[in-house]
Amino acid sequence: AKAAGRNTFRFYDEAMNRHAIQRLALESDLRRALGRNQLELFYQPQIRTIDNGLAGVEALMRWRHPERGLISPVEFIPVAEELGIISELGRWALQKASRQIVAWRQQGLPVPRVAVNLSPRQFDAPNLADRIEEIITAAGADKSWLELEITESTAMQQPERFIQILRQLRQRGLQVAMDDFGTGHSSLAMLCAMPLSVLKLDRSFVEQLPDSETDVAVAGAVVSLARQLRPAVVAEGVETLAQQRCLASLGCDMLQGYLYSRPLPAAEFETWVRNRLA
Ligand code: C2E
Ligand code: CA
Ligand code: CA
Ligand code: CA
């Protein structure tokens, strides 16, 4: 019995070790990913409900790992946060997206704006608004072409700081979207104090449309709240025509999801836009 126990322990130990080794390998690879040009931005369109036009794109990060292939941000963004390198990645993403929209406009591709995600950790950096402005301006982009997405739960971790940064960003002519709206816990009072450009209705409220009466009511309430407070509403995760029709009838301003396109590498996104215009 004692031997068996020791064996079990040894297996457990080895599994732990393997996991720890994989994790360490991932960490050291991630530290070098940026310098080795392994990070990429994919782009997903946001469509205006009113005329089906392209309202903008969201930039979503991907890691092209030489052995493991394309790695999802769900897997590596939390690791980057723990390693304390998320700010570098975030800076890179903002720079890349800014340069990309400049290039698109020079090519005459009608992309009105590009949205970039900010992580909770980036949020703690001093002079955040100044640093963001510098990156965009250095890339030759107009600040009104950029939008910064911050999740509701990040915003609500430090609401006072969020409102302060939001004001600074808006004063500089930048747009700010509250991402994953409905999953955090903003109060009405907080929402009223926030000069947001966009509310992004979280995918979890879109999924069950139009069958769930509760979710229809929630989506409708978010749209009418936004009408009063002025931000535009983007619905995330739109996959079906039934969802599209429901959200359009509720007065949702913009739609984003696989129904229109998955996030695409820049070149494929350009083809998508050209085909749509043709
Ligand atoms: P998010 O910001 O909420 O991005 C939306 C996610 O939903 C994306 O996943 C997108 O591919 C996915 N999506 C879009 N349309 C649909 C749809 O119709 N159905 C379904 N099921 N999913 C859809 P992705 O690209 O894997 O990104 C996951 C998360 O990783 C993002 O969630 C964001 O939190 C984070 N992330 C991605 N890029 C960055 C970045 O550059 N910086 C930071 N800090 N976080 C990022
Ligand atoms: Ca987002
Ligand atoms: Ca989201
Ligand atoms: Ca999300």
Residue 1 has a pLDDT of 46
Cβ < 5 A residues, ion ligand 2:
117, 149, 179
Q: Measured between alpha carbons, how far is 71 from 180 in angstroms, rounded to an integer?
A: 22
Residue 12 has a pLDDT of 66
Ligand 3 center–CA 179 separation, angstroms: 5
Tokens 């990060």: give the residue: 61
* Closest listed ligand to the CA of 150: 2
The DSSP secondary structure of the chain, one letter per residue, reads -HHHHHHHHHHHHHHHHHHHHHHHHHHHHHHHHTTTT-EEEEEEEEEETTT--EEEEEEEEEEEETTTEEE-HHHHHHHHHHHT-HHHHHHHHHHHHHHHHHHHHHTT-----EEEE--TTGGGSTTHHHHHHHHHHHTT--GGGEEEEEEHHHHHHSHHHHHHHHHHHHHTT-EEEEEEETSS---HHHHHH---SEEEE-HHHHTTTTT-HHHHHHHHHHHHHHHHH--EEEE----SHHHHHHHHHHT--EE-STTT---EEHHHHHHHHHHHH-
Ligand 1 nearest atom to the CA of residue 61, by list position = 38
Cβ < 5 A residues, ion ligand 3:
179-180, 236
Structure ipTM over 0.90, yes or no: yes
- Residue-level pLDDT, tens digit, the chain, 278 residues: 445 555 666 666 777 788 888 888 889 999 999 999 999 999 999 999 999 999 999 999 999 999 999 999 999 999 999 999 999 999 999 999 999 999 999 999 999 999 999 998 888 888 999 999 999 999 999 999 999 999 999 999 989 999 999 999 999 999 999 999 999 888 888 889 999 999 999 999 999 999 999 999 999 999 999 999 889 999 999 999 999 999 999 999 999 999 999 999 999 999 999 999 88
* Closest listed ligand to the CA of 74: 1
